[in-house]
Amino acid sequence: MPKMRLPNGYGSVFKLSGNRRNPWVARKTIGYNDKGHPIYEPIGYFAKSIEAYQALATYNTNLLDTDTAPVDNSPTPSYPQTSNNVHNSIPDTASNNKKTIIRETFTDVYERWIKYKYTNKGKQINRGYVAAYKACSNIHKMAFADIKTEHMQKELDGWEIGHASKQNMKILFGLLYKFAIQNDIVEKNYAEFVELEAPEDEEDQIHKPFTTEELTILWENSADKAAQLALIYCYSGLRPSEFIKIKTANVHLEERYMVGGIKTRAGKNRVIPIAEKIHKFITTMYNPKNEYLLTDYDGPLSYGSLNWRYWTPLMEKLSMDHLPHDGRHTCATLLDNAGVNKTIVKKILGHAGEGVTEKIYTHKTIQQLVEAINLI
């Protein structure tokens, strides 16, 4: 019988050397050693290759009755270890009537992935992924190959937390499946079918501006990049989701304004004045080689990574309780307290309304916006 090409993660059949009654061996990969080499679970010895393939098929249905499989009474061979293969010894199949499949669990795959992606490279794992892993404890002990979309969807839907954190869980599922496919653990990526509802409109959430005392504390900690980001939100009116999309080419340091913005028609591609107080922060971040103004050591930041890497640690450090969007509301409050013309306020924040119909910015208009933001 010609050698059959089996699906990834299915197992394999091979023939032992020498004159044996049952030379054909069926085996299954059940894990990997510290070097990443596979550890095999032998199923049994068979006289014909077709019998070995049939046994492997039975094994993949979760249980193999070894009473039906011929037993090889010849001496058990020992497999040499090489850089490419590490075999465990083949046990005496006559010692057990039935053998339960030992397969890698969700936790096994997660730990292998961490080691491969982070530990072996001396990197620190994304804390958002750690939190997401802990939150899906119902599938930790499930065999990874048995996990389907519905299992992951249930974990995602049942996690009562913000959209950014849920996004981390969805991303983690995708990364683990990619790793599992690359290592022949599964064949299909069920994570790609997991759905995540769009976040609620930030404007509809309850926000509270930073107090004068809290702003003072932020300034006292302004050597911290996280505090700088919070102050940029407070003195520009930018949403965090807008700031991460500001392109370097749209930052005009000498003229003291940026072009950016999302959400509404009035908010998109608006002029955002750079206040004198935060100009040095923007200047420090500016690098013409980067596509985006806010680029971290590993590239541009997503909304989720911006939060777990900077915002959450800052709030914990300063014992504050604010959402990232609170900076924008702080800016609106400061502008109002400074008596800035409401039309100018709307232009700075990107709000639609009476008097905000023209999207053409003259030098005079830009200067008015800069002067207004410097009043706070």
- What digits encode the pLDDT tens for the residues 270-279? 899 999 999 9
- 288 lies in a domain? yes
List, as one string, the DSSP characters of 272-303.
EE--GGGHHHHHHH--TTSSBSSEETTEEPPH
Query: In this predicted structure, what is the pLDDT of residue 364?
Result: 66
Strand-pairing partners, residue 270, are 260
Both 209 and 134 in one domain: the answer is: no
- Residue-range definition of the domain harbouring residue 128: 106-199
Please tell me whether residues 236 and 293 are part of one structural domain.
yes
**Is residue 3, in this structure, part of any structural domain at all?**
no
Residue type, 155: E
In-domain check, residue 45? yes
- In this predicted structure, what is the pLDDT of residue 59? 75
Shared-domain flag, residues 213 and 331: yes
Count of domains for the chain: 3
Mark which of 100, 121, 137 sits at the end of a domain: 100
pLDDT tens, position by position, 170-212: 989 999 999 999 888 888 899 989 888 766 554 445 678 999 9
What CATH number is given to the structural domain containing 330?
Answer: 1.10.443.10
Position 137 scores a pLDDT of 93
d(CA 270, CA 169): 33
Is there a single domain that holds both residue 153 and residue 54? no
Distance CA(323)–CA(253), nearest Å, equals 28
pLDDT digit string, tens, across residues 271-302: 999 999 999 999 999 999 999 999 998 888 88
- pTM of the full predicted structure? 0.49
Q: Is residue 141 part of a domain?
A: yes
- Residue 155 within a domain: yes
Q: Do 88 and 235 lie in a common domain?
A: no
What pLDDT does residue 105 have? 92
Q: What is the pLDDT of residues 115-140, one digit of tens each?
A: 998 888 888 887 888 999 999 999 99
**112 and 59 in one domain?**
no
Radius of gyration for the chain, computed over Cα atoms and rounded to the nearest angstrom: 30
Q: What does the alpha-carbon distance between residue 253 and residue 271 come to, in Å, rounded to a whole number?
A: 13
Least confident of 83-97, 120-134, 239-253: 83-97
Residue after which a domain boundary falls, among 42, 77, 100: 100
